[in-house]
Amino acid sequence: MEKFYITTAIAYASGKPHIGNTYEIVLADAIARYKRLKGFDVYFQTGTDEHGEKIEEKAKANGQTPQEFVDNISREIKRIWDVMNTSYDKFVRTTDEHHKKIVQQIFQKLYDQGDIYLDQYEGSYCTPCESFWTENQLVDGKCPDCGREVKKRSEESYFFRMSKYQDRLIEYIESHPEFIQPEARKNEMINNFLKPGLQDLCVSRTSFDWGVRVPFNDKHIVYVWIDALSNYITNIGYDIVGGNENFQKWWPADLHLVGKDIIRFHTIYWPILLMALDLPLPKQVFGHPWLLMNNDKMSKSKGNIMYADDLVSIFGVDAIRYYLLHEIPFQSDGTISYELIIERINSDLANVLGNLVNRTISMAKKYFEGKIENKNILEEVDSSYIEIVNSLEERVEKRMMKLEIGAALDEIFDTLRASNKYIDDTMPWSLAKEETKKERLETVLYNLLESIRVCAVFLKPFLPDTSEEIFRQLQIQDSSFTFNQDHKYCVMDPTPIFMRIDSSKKLAEIAANKED
């Protein structure tokens, strides 16, 4: 069986993740579930990034030890990943003893082989980003990544010889066009960061305590990005003598899914670190866009934060999964609001999917007490309809290969729309009026049930609960990807899967709850 190792970025254990931070785990989950559906042996890893000055400061402000603080937040992040029904195989934490031990071994190895050296650092430091910047990297004197104030700092630091690997990396990126995706991100990395020349990277800190200690100099803490990036190998069995069988099986990762803001760390620092460790590079790093709130960054200070668990309790988990997976374009940022969520639920989940499943099962019950077989009384309209259903596998695969998840969902929903149109074209209610059309009516309902089944198979990765519910109502197990002629359906009484929402009523309800 072909293996597929997929990761998300590990989230900072600095606060409760908002819906934007939750997008990535849902996206990764849809991809992981899809690969499992297609028969891959999948390993899906996520987790929390728990060290650093910012977390140390937050814990202090909270009157907790850093360990107590991250234990709480990490538990909360895991809870939210579970609320979103994500099927990760492993939830890692950078405070795990094993991870810390291997990070120390990595640091030691790089030092022993001369890739890391001790020097003096002077520069401007951004605490939230845990990054040093030179004067000409600053934008209006502020951090180029987050726009916040920087502090002047001078300290003794270890440095990593980035420039030594620069040409090798450029050559690698240029000869592996699939490595950085989407394409625009690749050009950005090459032109903005690699071509101008890499500076050696400061890879230790002495100004705080909360982190992995440099094994041969305990004044120093390993730079949080070296600590964090290593999670992708420390948790699958890497060690400096080459790693165990599990490591040989899973590495290199097939896909690192990360947000656009941290693609630089994953396509420059991480590959160089791997080259220095003499390890193969991940096959692909995909930088996804962000989810914004009314086209603005979500933040507590702006008061425009939405949380996944609140949204799920209002709309249900699959409605939110659908929104995230469908509405965030592949390259440009997406936006979210209550109005937009309701609009999408009504137009797609209720009108197209819910309505189709409900109408079809109701008719099967009403006209045949739920028992439907294929009577094969075919008409012209059937063949093009069945062709649409049979082409779904290929259409979805094409989109998923490029990680165009929203477009893959559109392929499924276009097929559901074709089913609704098939009902309008064949008019089962008028066939039901004529005794001689009974077998034609049963054929029409068979075609509809079987098309719904195929769509439900492809909905599994995206809307797992909904797919399961459709299978339950159809009372069938078959998960094959194409139209089967020989099932014997015996469907249950229909239960609506998505209902239309009265937008103004719901919005008023949400506003009233907020005031409580």
Q: How far is the CB of 338 from ligand MSP (least distance, A)?
A: 17
Residue number, nearest CB to ligand MSP: 259
CA distances in angstroms from 438 to 72, 375, 433, 442, 447, listed in the order given: 62, 10, 9, 6, 14
Q: Is 46 in the site for ligand MSP (CB under 6 A)?
A: no
Among 4, 5, 12, 132, binds ligand MSP (CB under 6 A): 12
> CA nearest 343: which of 462, 202, 500?
500
Q: Taking the complex as a whole, how short is the minimal distance between the CB of residue 505 and ligand MSP, in angstroms?
A: 29
Q: Which residues pair with 119 in a beta bridge?
A: 157
Count the residues of the shown chain that bind ligand MSP, applying the rule CB under 6 A: 18
Classify 400 as helix, strand or coil: helix
Helices (H) and strands (E) in the chain, counts: 22, 17
Query: Using CB under 6 A, which of the segments 18-26, 197-205, 305-313, 390-398 binds ligand MSP?
Result: 18-26
Q: Which helix (H) or strand (E) holds 451?
A: helix 438-459
Sketch the per residue contact string, 292 through 321, with ligand MSP: x for CB under 6 A, - otherwise. ------x-----------------------
Least separation in angstroms between residue 11's CB and ligand MSP is 4
Site membership for ligand MSP, residue 26 (CB under 6 A): no
Residue 430 amino acid letter: S
Closer residue to ligand MSP (CB): 326 or 440: 326
Is residue 368 close enough to count as binding ligand MSP by CB under 6 A?
no
3-state DSSP call for residue 483? coil
**Scanning residues 203 to 232, which ones bind ligand MSP (CB under 6 A)?**
228-229
31 interacts with ligand MSP by CB under 6 A? no
What is the rounded CA–CA span in Å between residue 146 and residue 136?
16
**356 contacts ligand MSP (rule: CB under 6 A):** no
Site for ligand MSP in 258-277 (CB under 6 A): 258-259, 261-262
Q: 378, 386 in Cβ contact below 8 A?
A: no
Out of 29, 49, 309, 411, the residue judged to bind ligand MSP by CB under 6 A? 49
For residue 108, give Cα distances in angstroms to 113, 216, 240, 430. 9, 8, 10, 78
| Shortest reach from residue 332's CB to ligand MSP, in Å | 12
**Distance from C-alpha of 214 to C-alpha of 55, rounded to nearest angstrom:** 19
**R_g of the chain, CA atoms, integer Å:** 26
The count of other CB atoms within 10 Å of the CB of residue 89 is 12
Of 10-18, 103-111, 381-389, 443-451, which segment contacts ligand MSP by CB under 6 A?
10-18
128 alpha-carbon distance from chain centroid: 23
Which of 11, 236, 273, 445 is the binder for ligand MSP (CB under 6 A)?
11
Q: Is 77 in the site for ligand MSP (CB under 6 A)?
A: no
Write the DSSP string, 191-206: IIIITT-PPPEE-EE-
- Interacting residue ranges for ligand MSP, rule: CB under 6 A: 9-12, 20-21, 23-24, 49, 228-229, 258-259, 261-262, 290-291, 298
